[in-house]
Amino acid sequence: MADAGFRYVVRQPPEQALAGARAANYGRLDVSTARRHGYSEPSQANDPIRKFVSNDPNRPYLASLSKSRQQAYPVALFGHDDTRITIDLPDGENVTTNRDGCTSDARRLLYGPDLVTWLRNQFVASNLNLEVFRRVTSDTAYLKALKDWRACMRIHHRAFETPEAARQAAARSRGGNTAGSTPAAAEIAIAVADAECQRVSQLVDVAERLDGRHRIGVSADRAAEINAYHLARAEAARRAPELLHNR
């Protein structure tokens, strides 16, 4: 970025952001918390990941640039869209990236010239929770508990297909209020019903039990990508001091 005439601060993400192998969050909620805070966690303001994102020193720097330089900045960092490549993932989906730009150049320096293979392995290894979550939420045991949750929510006059739909409806009830503000009465009502129905249906208990089982399966299915990812990172860590010394 310096060669392109820009300043860029490289930061180490908090450990929570790198812990892709930990159990996914299935939205566990207790009634007492729901009555006080709705869906907002009391400690959200001190969340390390939230702080990391909101305190990015590169954002005010970018805002200080002229309009033309603001437009040039992401091109220098991420490359031109007309150099975009598509990376096919094991689940049939795909992600895209650009071949040029400082980010891709740094990846090639650290991990080798095969950008597609590196990014595929990185995405698979860093998103194990997403694949585990998909398998859990399509498991027949989970679907049975979800059916019970829906029935319970209807008793509370809340017709939602999924807990995520309930959370989205609660978020809309806040209007323009930011996270951490006092939740609206509508959010409290939805959250309390959700918490009570989690207890009745044991939806989150079922999900967390299934998570352990499916995590083993996903780890076995993606072992090649995970191992290649960790090997590449170890090799990059070994080579990084030399690369920095030669800059």
Q: In sequence order, which residues have a C-beta less than 8 Å from that of residue 130 and are 6 or more positions away?
A: 24
For residue 97, list its beta bridge partners. 85
Q: What is the pLDDT of residue 246?
A: 76
Any idea what the Cα angle at residue 7 is, between residues 20 and 61, rounded to 5°? 85
When pLDDT is cut at 50, 70 and 90, the band that residue 24 belongs to is: low
The predicted model scores a pTM of 0.80
How far apart (Å, rounded) are the C-alpha atoms in residues 160 and 162?
Answer: 6
Q: Is the per-residue pLDDT at 90 higher than 80?
A: yes
Convert the pLDDT of each residue in 184-235 to its tens digit: 899 999 999 999 999 999 999 999 999 999 999 999 999 999 999 999 999 9
Instruction: Select the more confidently predicted residue: 92 or 148.
Output: 148
Res. 242 pLDDT band, cuts 50 70 90: confident
Residue 114's φ and ψ, nearest 5 degrees, are -85, 85
Q: Token pair of 124, please?
A: 């698979």
pLDDT value at 44 more than 70: no
Number of H helices, E strands in the chain: 13, 2
Per-residue model confidence (pLDDT) at position 195 = 96
For residues 139-166, average pLDDT:
96
DSSP codes, 42-85: TTGGG-HHHHHHHT-THHHHHHHS-HHHHHHHHHHHH--GGGEE
CB 110 within 8 A of CB 243: yes
CB 10 within 8 A of CB 145: no
Q: Which of 206, 224, 55 is nearest to 145 (CA)?
A: 206
Contact yes or no for 103/78 (Cβ under 8 A): yes
Q: Is the pLDDT of residue 45 over 70?
A: no
